[in-house]
Structure 1
Amino acid sequence: MSISLLLEMAESSQPDREALVSGELRWTTAELSRLADGAAGVITETGARHVAYVGTGAEMLPLLLFGAAGASVPVTPLNYRLSGDGVRALVERLPDPLVVVDEDYRHVVEGERVITSTDFLSAAQVADPTSGFADPDAVAVVLFTSGTTSTPKAVELTHNNLTSYVTGTVEFDSAEPGDAALVCVPPYHVAGVGAALSNLYAGRKIVYLKNFEAREWLRLLGEERVSSATVVPTMLDRIVDALEKSGAEYPVPSSLRTLAYGGSKVALPLVRRATAAFPGVGLVNAYGLTETSSTIAVLTPEDHRDALAATDPDALRRLGSVGRPVPGVEVQIRADDGTVLVAGETGELYVRGEQVSGRYTDVGSLLDAEGWFPTKDRAMLDDAGYLFLGGRSDDTIIRGGENIAPAEIEDVLVEHPQVGHCAVVGLEDSEWGQIIVAVVVPLPDTTPDADDLRAYVRAQLRGSRTPDRVVFRHELPTNATGKVLRRELVDELDAHSKESA
């Protein structure tokens, strides 16, 4: 079904419900629906075959999602953090687009068919409304992958992919009166798209924070009586820091029931700190990919509580998993030769389901004959069906002919009492093929010793997993969702090695 139906259902059920808050702006479900029809009219009038958006999101994201759907054209939120050349290169890959841009980023786009967000909203308020339901198999959203190691790929998500995700994971109109979701993930990330659609469908008010700042996030939490929130790991780290340093200024409100984190791997020390900082709040670890229309596995609040209270080692380690697949999603772990592996064996994660796209512009579908998508994530399922991630296949270090997953070493290093954050990468080496380099961000007011850290790893893993080198940095390079930019680390370390040679 078309995503337009999600908005129609929400309006039919509760037209006067406050649906969206962004700064001083507040829209009811009916107002959002009316403006979306106007937005569809504006888009149709231009004759554009695609809509691109450059900006920080908030109200513009749902408006353009439903406006483009009503006009039966796809929409692409772009990474506004890119350089002007980077943004223009992505716009040029879209067919005959209308570009909607926030005023702060107007200088990075050019061309005749460009309109500011303010002018677009004004036009939508007076345009002849257009409403329609696109073909469920038509492309609704195109998102560019982060491109941390290669040229960004354009992932195509159909209306059916997105609505399958929403209806498979959320019950319609299930929110309690007054429920509110605080959203601060960027609009160009699939989690931002998923949040706009699923919260509206559930009947939950969406409170947008355009530019994340921990204290402002905590303030909004109390002011809007937020019941659920979603953050990426870097945000969670800063929020917990703020609570630990000045929690009395912005206490966690009793309204908050769940706090979801995801987007990249979260270290166990941070999960334990978050548990202490948010007593009584259910933590949720959500794992998904752009190609799967958002979440495909969830570690629920009950899972968190059970793991934290467990004495059995297998149950305890599930705190480091991403939980179990959501309804409608199947998973397999496969060896390099395609053999399906049993519980406890590590290989590549394959997923299948109606919400799984696996299709790229100019490339086509990567689904196999039976509909399985290769995620390129290393993973393992335990006997109870909990999914453990081991990093990207591309990140694997091959040292002396042995395949080594960086995550295995990182999970040990981050537990050291003087380590705040870390990333492990492989550097080319004439003797071993690659050597293991651990890049460590120390905790404040600590000065860890490299040999001590190497010994710490050696005591818990095989000797072949011991870092050959330990490098200290003030911070790790990450993207907006907290994923470490490993390619950037490798390039810097390679350049430094050549200078030192």
Structure 2
Amino acid sequence: MGIEMVLDMASSVNPDRLAVGRRGAGMTYRQLGDVAAGGAAVVAERGAAHLVFVGVNGPVLPALTFAAARAGIPLAPLNYRLATDQLRDLVTQLDRPIVVTDPAYRDKLDGVAETVLTSEEFLDLARAAEPAEQAPVQDDATAIVLFTSGTTSAPKGVLLRHQHLLSYLFNTVEFGSADEEHATLVSTPPYHVAGMGAVLSNVYAGRRMVHLPDFTPQNWLDLVREEGVTSAMVVPTMLARVVEHLDGAPADTPALGSLAYGGARMPQPVLERALSAFPTTGFVNAYGLTETSSTIAVLGPDDHREALSDPALRGRLASVGRVVPGMEAEIRDEDDTTVLAPGETGLLWVRGAQVSGEYMGKGSALDAGGWFPTRDRARIEDGYLYIGGRADDTIIRGGENIAPAEIEDVLVRHDDVRELAVVGVPDDEWGERICAVIVPVGTEHADAESIRTWCRERLRGSRTPDEVVFVDELPKTATGKLVRRDLVAQITEPAAG
């Protein structure tokens, strides 16, 4: 049993309901099933072992997802933003690929595989092909290969098997729970686990998917209003831009019942402004990793409302909520030998049927007990999980371990700070020194020394930034994750020169 059953179930229950696209011009579940069956034939007759997609999120992605599953091969969505050499290198790591690409990236991929088709060419062939029979699929066969974003090292191919993805769905989504008028706005890229999770979870729920390939705050708001979007997911940078665009005005999105966010740390001031701008919308913080087949913890709408209304609970807005059913979490010390008590900060380990933790060509990262090391610093307090950043991001200054997040959470409330990141930079005396890199609100801003003084009044002396640097923007991935290695290089290379 594979993920192809998700579409089979949806199309058997609601064959004429719109699955993908705008009202009046979309694709029904029956039509999506026909395209997937024809796409499986296109793939099978070319003898492919992997179906590669390079492009933005759109109607072709669900067709490719279920075509690959019907053909019994993995789908590998790749980051279209990569340089040509990087992109071609990832394709060559996959056995017998057939490549489907948006026209904008076609030139990057010429000759990289025996078959390279544009998205429209694939859909045309799929619609014209005789539907393929379902290929035998084992539960433990690989369904999707996702390459990690590589913010600290070279991308690694994570193998998500059918059993992992189905476990995630069965434990977190109710089949057929969406009504016919429900629609979700998908703006996360295909190569991100949230993009693939959106395909599976929305089809399983029977919800129409509307896509926004090119995000701007106004385009996002317009589409939510025009299509009566009832749910959406954004990354923190997107929500920050929407809130800034509204500039204190209400969002005026009456149909939007649920707004999920995740993928990176959400600055609490941004979240508080968003809650005011969308007063009738239920907010959901979803935390997960590629290796865990998407969400492993959720801070739900009730949690947000209670935290906003009760000052004693306000700190919960900084958490990622409670661990979802079917998952376990524990906090271990740095040596992975001791499970820490509630409230203590250490390294987060997770276990559950949806956890893969397996990398292409590198084997599994699970320990003997089936636990996966997330490499995130975290604590569990009153049942809520708080993420303190990546363990690799820890600054070691004079032998003291300092988590950038504890400084960032304070400094983000400074009136002159639009965005910031705290990083460690090499120092001959201390090993590393603390550098706060700030994107200011305007061209006129506080000087570096006054910001250091402001921090010193609110933090221990050892947490006060040794230096403050102002920049126009922070280097990030398309999903809003800070690329710290690029930031450190950006602020140290001029000094080295």
Query: TM over 0.5, yes or no?
Result: yes
Residue 252 of structure 1, CA deviation: 2.4
1:322 aligns with 2:309: no
Find the residue that maps to 2:270 and give its secondary structure.
helix
Q: Which moved more, 1:398-407 or 1:485-494?
A: 485-494
Are 1:483 and 2:486 matched, yes or no?
A: no
1:350 corresponds in structure 2 to: 349
Contact persistence 1:38–1:67 (CA under 8 A)? yes
Query: Aligned partners of 1:446, 1:322: CA distance in 2, in Å?
Result: 35
Helix, strand or coil: the match of 1:128? coil
From the superposition, tell whether residues 76 and 23 of structure 1 become closer, same or farther in structure 2 (CA, over 3 Å): farther
Residue of structure 1 equivalent to 2:29: 29
Q: What code does the residue aligned with 1:18 have?
A: L
SS in 2 for 1:140: strand
After TM superposition, list the pairs within 5 Å mapping 1:387-398 onto structure 2: 387-398=385-396
For the residue of structure 1 that corresponds to 2:273, the secondary structure is helix
Could you tell me how far apart the structure 2 residues matched to 1:78 and 1:320 are? 31
Distance 1:161 1:235 in 2: 29
Q: Which amino acid aligns with 1:370?
A: G
Counterpart code for 1:304: H
Q: State how 1:7-46 maps to structure 2 within 5 Å.
A: 7-21=7-21, 25-46=25-46
Matched, 1:375 2:374: yes
- Residue equivalent to 1:120: 122
Residue aligning to 1:99? 99
Q: Which runs of 4+ in 1 moved over 3 A?
A: 22-25
Aligned residue for 1:434, secondary structure, equals strand
Equivalent runs, 1:39-438 vs 2, <5 Å? 39-111=39-111, 112-132=114-134, 134-244=137-247, 251-312=251-312, 315-338=313-336, 339-382=338-381, 384-438=382-436
Matched-pair contact (CA < 8 Å) for 2:57–2:188: no
What is the CA distance between 1:24 and its match in structure 2?
A: 8.1
Return the letter of the residue paired with 1:311. P
SS in 1 for 2:188: coil
- Cα distance between partner residues in 1 of 2:405 and 2:343: 16
Distance in 1, Cα, partners of 2:25 & 2:421: 41
Residue 141 of structure 2 aligns with an amino acid whose one-letter code is A
Task: Give, in whole Å, the separation in 1 of the partners of 2:52 and 2:389.
Answer: 31
1:135, CA displacement in angstroms?
1.1
Aligned position for 1:457: 455
**Whole-angstrom distance in 2 between the partners of 1:159 and 1:371:** 18
For 1:222, the aligned partner's letter is R
Distance 1:238 1:23 in 2: 27
Per-residue deviation, 1:445: 5.2
Any unmatched runs of 5+ in structure 1?
none
Calculate the TM-score normalised by the size of structure 2. Answer: 0.97
Over the aligned positions, Cα root-mean-square deviation in angstroms equals 1.3
Offset of 1:244 from its aligned partner?
2.1
Deviation (angstroms), 1:189: 0.4
Aligned mates of 1:177, 1:253 — CA distance in 2:
19
Alpha carbons of 1:426 and 1:375: their partners in 2 closer, same or farther (altered >3 Å)?
Answer: same
- CA–CA distance in 2 between the matches of 1:488 and 1:134? 41
- Deviation string for 1:340-382 (max 9, x for gaps)? 0111101110011111100000101111111100000000100
2:40 and 2:71 in contact (8 A); partners too: yes
Residue 35 of structure 2 aligns with an amino acid whose one-letter code is L
Which SS does the other structure have where 1:256 is aligned?
coil
SS of 2:26's partner is: strand
CA contact (8 A) 1:22 1:58 kept: no
Structure 1 pair 421–348 and aligned structure 2 pair: CA distance change class (3 A) = same
Contact 1:22 1:209 in 2 (8 A): no
Counterparts in 2 of 1:460 and 1:27: CA distance versus 1, 3 Å: same
Gaps of 5+ in 2: none
Q: Percent identity?
A: 54
Total equivalences in the alignment: 493
Q: CA deviation at 1:450?
A: 1.1
Q: Cα offset for 1:23?
A: 9.6
Measure, in 2, the Cα distance between the counterparts of 1:25 and 1:118: 16
Q: Distance in 1 between matches of 2:261 and 2:325?
A: 19
Secondary structure of the corresponding residue to residue 274 of structure 1: helix
3-state SS of 1:337 partner: coil
The CA distance in 1 between the partners of 2:133 and 2:490, in whole Å, is 51
Contact 1:419 1:448 in 2 (8 A): no
**Alignment check: 8 A CA contact 2:253 2:278 kept:** no
